[in-house]
Amino acid sequence: MLKKPKNNLRWLWISLGCVLVLLAASSYWLSSQSRLTKGKATESQTTVTTGLPKNTRVSDWQLVLVNKQHPQNQELNFTKTTVDDKQVDTRIVKPLADFRKAALAAGYPTTLVSGYRSIADQRNVFANVTAQNERNGLTPQETKAATEAVVQTPGSSEHQTGLAVDLAGNDALAKYPNLEANMDQFASQQWLIKHAPNYGFVLRFLPDKKSQSQTGIDYESWHFRYVGYANAQYMTKHHLTLEQYLTDLKGAGQA
């Protein structure tokens, strides 16, 4: 009868020892997972800027940013050239011509719907869209939101850089003369979207919600922006808006 307490005590110590071993093992495993997670997070963060074009700087002329967060309330200074009764920055005349020539060779004639727009021109565009939304019966609040979702406020449109063009396949434009996202139903518009980076252009306003939150503009299947060949290739490969690309360049010290 006197041996049972000793045996119970021994088993108690053995059980306690097992618990301590399990706790130590669990602690080690959790610590290892934490280090692994941090390592993956760091790797993910550095991957964003891996392979950035080495000679690219945020200050490069082709990367000038004009949007609601970075408005230009005065006209930018650059040389303009007239193309199909529209004006663009002279420096993009050749890549734009090559882009359209290639589209034509593929069987898709195009129309340059819009190029450079002054701040005054943008003010008129904004007013016209606002008036149309009002005629459609929207409330003042709805009108403001609907207009700003598709048109940049005066001073915030990159059309005033001369580097942005509204370019459409003739067949797509014939069906959607006021320019609509559904233009991408046409093979001509899909060709333009797919091949734009080969000529230094990117589709500026992408269809996903993340991109739209960064640009503040809904999907536009016709709005192309010249950023240069290397930049266009990188941005398209990594599905980046110009806003995000410039943030990555700054993070990599390429300001």
CB atoms closer than 10 angstroms to residue 122: 19
Instruction: Give me 29's structure tokens.
Output: 């495993």
Q: Which of 43, 75, 180, 220 is catalytic?
A: 220
What is the C-alpha to C-alpha distance for residues 101 and 133, in angstroms, rounded to an integer? 37
Contacts of residue 32, defined as CB under 8 A and 6 or more positions apart, other chains included, come to none
CB distance 242 to 63 below 8 Å: yes
> Residue 220 catalytic?
yes
CB atoms closer than 10 angstroms to residue 188: 21
Q: Which residues are catalytic?
A: 220
